[in-house]
């Protein structure tokens, strides 16, 4: 019997009001608009798409930074988020978020030791000696020397700040970690060491990752499955190897065609991504990608549902027609 997913989203929406003169509401920005998703314990699920597609909003809504407008978030079999629902404090320790800029999440006036003690003070009743022992163990696990505990955030590099951010959340013993652009702004050599650290920590602590990134090469190397988002919805999802080798949605093909590649042909050389995404406050009728799609057809005037064949699916009428 298959184990239940560690994370399950059902019709998840997050809408933001658009305000005009005198703060009057004049519209709604649909950052997330009906996301259904499940994540198995121990897997790494990549979330990719252009800027503004809803990747980070998805992670922050799962985490509880944003409250859902509609839908539900289930974590470890329990409902943890729905409109009007108060999240149990115990969930906050087991579901953690690594920010895109880890330095901004560290108090510049605190030494790293105090920043690492803080979550344990909030979420546990451990005496100081036990907190210190746990912090030293976690700091060693992320590859930092004890001497760094006496430093301030501005005294360490970007890669070291990411390691401190990981140490801060690992001290609480999380089961699922949302990584928001975890390698952005890092040198290639530093990226490699950070990715190796993610793999090691996943195996050592039994972690599940939701890996939010625009870097397709990193997603291909790190993730078991990939979900492609466009204007607040998932338009393709499947095993990473299948999605990168044989993408089904025209948007996915366009993303892969735009990715830099040294040597060898591209998987989707003929697909060029034209124009800018529509305004999420004024979404087009039907398929949200059809105004930019080279394969748009009359059927695209109706919005397609995510059609799964096995573990790989796409929300595209053209794909469905090819199956029939």
Domains and CATH numbers, the chain: 7-247 (3.40.50.300)
What's the mean per-residue pLDDT of the chain? 89
Overall average pLDDT of the 88-111 stretch: 86
User: HEC string of the chain?
Assistant: CCCCCCEEEEEEEEEEEEECHHHCEEEEEEEEEEEEEEECCCCEEEEECCCCCCHHHHHHHHHCCCCCCEEEEEECCEEEECCCCCCCHHHHHHEEEECCCHHHHCCCCCCHHHHHHHHHHHHCCCCHHHHHHHHHHHHHHCCCCHHHHHCCHHHCCHHHHHHHHHHHHHCCCCCEEEEECCCCCCCHHHHHHHHHHHHHHHHHHCCEEEEECCCHHHHHHHCCEEEEEECCEEEEEEEHHHHHHCCCCHHHHHHHHHCCCCCCCCCCCCCCCCCCCCCCCCCCCCCCCHHHCCCCCHHHHCCCCCEEECCEEECCHHHHHHHC
Overall average pLDDT of the 146-168 stretch: 91
* Count of Cβ atoms closer than 10 Å to residue 197 Cβ: 18
Where does the pLDDT of residue 137 fall: very low under 50, low under 70, confident under 90, or very high at 90 and above?
A: very high
Strand partners, 209: 44, 177
pLDDT given at position 271 = 59
CA atoms of 51 and 255, how far apart (whole Å): 12
Which residue did the predictor score with more confidence, 309 or 131? 131
Nearest to 266 by CA among 251, 278, 253, 275: 253
Residue 114 has pLDDT above 90, yes or no: yes
Residue 214 has pLDDT above 90, yes or no: no
Lowest mean pLDDT among 73-87, 115-129, 222-236, 250-264: 250-264
* Kind of pairing between the strands at 176-180 and 233-239: unpaired
0.95 surpassed by pTM: no
* Residues constituting the chain: 324
Residue 124 has pLDDT above 80, yes or no: yes
Where does the pLDDT of residue 263 fall: very low under 50, low under 70, confident under 90, or very high at 90 and above?
A: low
Residue 310 has pLDDT above 60, yes or no: yes
Determine the Cα angle at 263 with ends 257 and 269, to 5°: 25
Where does the pLDDT of residue 1 fall: very low under 50, low under 70, confident under 90, or very high at 90 and above?
A: very low
């Amino acid at each position: 019997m298959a184990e239940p997913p560690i994370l399950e989203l059902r019709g998840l929406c997050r809408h933001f009001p658009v305000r005009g003169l005198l703060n009057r509401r004049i519209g709604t920005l649909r950052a997330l608009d009906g996301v259904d998703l499940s994540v198995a314990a121990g897997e790494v699920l990549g979330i990719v798409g252009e800027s503004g597609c809803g990747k980070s909003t998805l992670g922050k809504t799962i985490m509880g930074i944003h409250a859902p407008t509609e839908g539900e978030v289930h974590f470890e079999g329990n409902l943890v988020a729905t409109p009007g629902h108060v999240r149990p404090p115990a969930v906050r320790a087991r579901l953690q978020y690594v920010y895109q800029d880890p330095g901004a999440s560290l108090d510049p006036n605190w030494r790293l030791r105090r920043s690492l003690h803080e979550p344990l003070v909030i979420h546990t009743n451990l005496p100081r000696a036990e907190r210190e022992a746990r912090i030293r163990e976690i700091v060693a696990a992320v590859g930092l020397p004890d001497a760094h505990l006496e430093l301030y955030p501005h005294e360490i590099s970007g890669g070291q700040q990411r390691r401190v951010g990981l140490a801060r959340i690992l001290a609480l013993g999380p089961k699922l970690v949302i990584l928001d652009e975890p390698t952005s702004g890092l040198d290639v050599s530093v990226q490699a060491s950070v990715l190796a650290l993610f793999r090691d920590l996943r195996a050592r602590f039994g972690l599940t990752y939701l890996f939010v990134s625009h870097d397709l090469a990193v997603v291909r190397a790190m993730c078991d499955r990939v979900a492609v988002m466009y204007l607040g919805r998932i338009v393709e999802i499947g095993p990473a190897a299948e999605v990168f080798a044989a993408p089904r949605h025209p948007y996915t093909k366009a993303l892969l065609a735009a990715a830099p590649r040294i040597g060898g042909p591209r998987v989707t050389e003929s697909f060029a991504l034209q124009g800018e995404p529509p305004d999420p406050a004024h979404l087009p009728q039907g398929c949200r990608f059809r105004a930019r799609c080279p394969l748009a057809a009359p059927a695209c005037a109706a919005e397609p549902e995510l059609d799964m064949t096995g573990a790989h699916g796409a929300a595209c009428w053209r794909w469905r027609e090819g199956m029939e």
